[in-house]
Chains A and B, each alone.
Chain A
Amino acid sequence: MTLVMVVDDDQDLAEMLSIVLNGAGIDVDLVGRGDEVLELFRNNPPDLVLLDVMLPGIDGIEVCKLIRAESMVPIIMLTAKGDTHDVVLGLEAGADDYMVKPFRHPSELIARIRTRLRRTNSDIAGLLAISDLSIDVQAHHVLRGNKVISLTRLEFDLLVALAKEPGRVFTRDALLSEVWGYRHSTDTRLVNVHVQRLRSKIEHDPENPEIVVTVRGVGYKAGALVHS
């Protein structure tokens, strides 16, 4: 059974969240303080973390960095503010997605969680190649030569999406629907921040990217293959 860790200091909301998640067949671990997260996380690793930004102890952004430092688990931030600043901070700290309180429907939350947990591209067998990297989709590995590059599931999905269709230029909207499962979203910050994060892990020089290439005014595409 899937386990989701819910980190929120509001007990009523936390209880409500667990009712909703349990209703969808998901187990829930509740944590009320930022500084209690890491211990529980190590003892009982969840499949996904729902993380509020404002927390007693350590704030959510900091908690996000701590978790990211030792795990590639999907993280969805819960923020009460739609402000760019908070959202971008959360994404830069390593969150995969965010939801602004109050959410429209409980089903929306469930859908987001399912998107982040699903096994994508399980139909692709063998290796994908992009620039000087090779991607083993089944094994969830990215290799440069013999060296494994560790990516979060979201970063992996983003890279696979681009590598699957090497010639295609993806608009940000297209990537949002392909990777995040959004329809009609106009929030391009998600794409921008994650492309930056992905580049910082896979590019030789993140300032002059050769693997995830920006197409000005349109979006992104996969860089040309390099045969070594």
Chain B
Amino acid sequence: MQRVGFRLRSSLAFRVILSTVLLSLSVVWLTGSALNNQLSKGVKQVNLDSAIIEARSTIFNAQYRLALAQGEAEPIIRSVISDVITSATSLGTAENTRLIAFIKTPGQEVSKYDYEVKSEFLEVNSIPENLKVQVRKSSEIKWTYSNFAYPGNSSTPIIILGDKVKVPNAGQYEMYLFISLANQEATLELIRSSLLLTGFALLLLIGLITWLVVRQVVRPVREAARIATEFTSGDFHQRMDVHSRDEISTLGNAFNEMAESLQKQIARLENLSRVQQRFVSDVSHELRTPLTTLRMASEIIHSARESFDPNVSRSAELLVAQLDRFERLLEDLLEVSRFDAEVAVLEGVDFDIVTLAKRCIEDLALVASENSTSMVLSVSNESIMLNADIRRVERILRNLLTNAIDHADGKPIEVTIAHTEHDVAVGVRDYGIGIEPHLLSRVFDRFWRADPSRARVRGGTGLGLSIALEDARLHNGELEAWGRPRYGAHFVLTLPRREGSSIEARLITLKPTT
């Protein structure tokens, strides 16, 4: 039932076919029953007429022969009655056998002779009383429908007809004919079953025709839906076949025009994105060559700074430092543009994240001590292998550590690594200046500063956390932040250990319990 309900809602063809068949069913039902009524009425009338004619001739024959036997002796009369009844009952066979009852009308003076006769297995009480009453009152043949159980048969519909017959010297008698209607019932049954069969066949045909017709309409609609789906999944070359000039073809043409225009728009956007990406790549190339020259020149000047006067010497140091910063900014901008153009790709390798984290901490230890802080690592296992882009994971770790060093306010930084069979998580917790909860969502924004008046200790680019977030997402991982003013901040990176799978659980609680 649920399936039908689902099909009803989901398939136009099914709905149309079902409603057509249901409507046709009621029409076929109405016409069928009318036809059935009409036909059975006719059949019954014909049978009744022939029964009356037969009864009339039989009873008239009896009346006539008995009238002729007026004044004859009792045995002659008895033989006449017997003869009449035998000739009448010998018509037809088996179920069609006529049964006859010849009974004396009650309420007369008792006669010397009793001529009452009836066919075998016929009981007098088989004749309905009201028929007897009618027969006695009337001078014509009277009849009624009834049922009668022939031997070896269940109850069979019959017609009983009767009239009065005068028997010489014996008063008034009544003669009743029992005529079986088994044949009539068989005919009616045949008519009914033929009508049912025809109706059923008609419904089937109507269903089939509807299906064929609906298919003509639904097929293009389905085709359009299929093509729209292909479109959604990125195949913009699909078009509908248009053969005719009807409404369906109008749909097809409109659809194709829409597809064409969509494809053009998408191509235009793709081209724009390609041009943009190309431009960024060209700019980077054009910038990098002079930057290389600049760097080498500045290094040579820097290495000779001892021989300059203090101002020039300091300038050389600033030059080198700012070139460093400029280069980092250029790298970060390029990376961001790669993310924006969605051309960043993962190069997965198997590596041990504990070793990587230790190396990052070692590399940044000097910077940390310059900021009078330190980093403490606690791990759930001495070696945790994962398959990921090691360059990106290293960059995330470095960005998180650098960020923590910048904001640690001289308090130690805790680095935690936890793992399960499926995921690995790295938490970086500092107890420094912290951040307002309502600003947390903005820490991953590009170039965003919690406190604009605060200088970047490390001369960071302002893109680090934003890139870290993109790197995490590229791995189907998550990077989340928690913070409270004066209580510090907590960043948790969760990555699936297999490239391409998704993370199952958060292994490190983001919000500290203490």
Which residue numbers of A lie inside 8 Å of B, CB to CB? 10, 12-13, 16-17, 19-20, 23, 54, 80-81, 84, 101-107, 184, 186-188, 217
Contact = CB atoms under 8 A, between A and B. Distances in A.
B400 to A, nearest CB: 17
B409 interface: no
Contacts of B345: 84
B262 interface: no
Contacts, number: 60
Residue with the highest number of chain A CB atoms closer than 10 Å, among B289, B295, B349, B363: B289
Contacts of A105: 295, 299
A208 B359 CA distance: 35
A10 B296 CA distance: 14
Interface stretch (B198-206, B280-288, B470-478): B280-288
A186 B352 CA distance: 12
A106 B349 contact: no
B292 interface: yes
B290 interface: yes
Interface residues of B, number: 27
A109 to B, nearest CB: 8
Given A13-B292, A106-B299, A217-B385, 18 more contacts: A10-B289, A12-B293, A13-B293, A20-B296, A20-B300, A23-B300, A80-B288, A81-B285, A84-B347, A101-B288, A102-B295, A103-B295, A105-B299, A106-B300, A184-B359, A186-B390, A188-B349, A217-B350
B54 interface: no
A184 B292 CA distance: 22
A37 B362 CA distance: 44
A80 B285 CA distance: 5
Nearest to B338: A83
Nearest to A216: B350
B350 to A, nearest CB: 5
Interface in B267-298: 281, 284-285, 288-297
B327 to A, nearest CB: 6
Contact of A80 (B284, B294, B299, B349): B284
B391 A186 contact: yes
Interface of B: 281, 284-285, 288-297, 299-300, 327, 345, 347, 349-351, 359, 363, 385, 390-391, 394
Contacts of A103: 292, 295-296
Nearest to B281: A81
Contacts of B296: 16-17, 19-20, 103, 106
B390 to A, nearest CB: 5
Contacts of B351: 186
A102 B288 contact: yes
A17 B293 CA distance: 8
B260 to A, nearest CB: 33
A12 B300 contact: no
A81 B334 CA distance: 10
A186 B327 CA distance: 20
The 5 A-B residue pairs with the shortest CB-CB distance in the complex, in nearest-first order: A102-B292, A80-B285, A102-B291, A101-B292, A80-B288
B289 A80 contact: yes
B394 A186 contact: yes
B347 A13 contact: no
A172 to B, nearest CB: 8
Contacts of A106: 295-296, 299-300
Contacts of A186: 351, 390-391, 394
Contact of B284 (A16, A81, A184, A217): A81
Contacts of B284: 80-81
Contacts of A19: 296, 300
Contact of A54 (B285, B290, B295): B285
A188 B281 CA distance: 24
Contacts of B394: 186
Contact of B290 (A12, A17, A23): A12
15 contacts: A10-B289, A12-B293, A13-B289, A17-B296, A19-B300, A80-B285, A81-B284, A84-B345, A101-B292, A102-B292, A102-B294, A103-B292, A106-B295, A107-B299, A186-B394
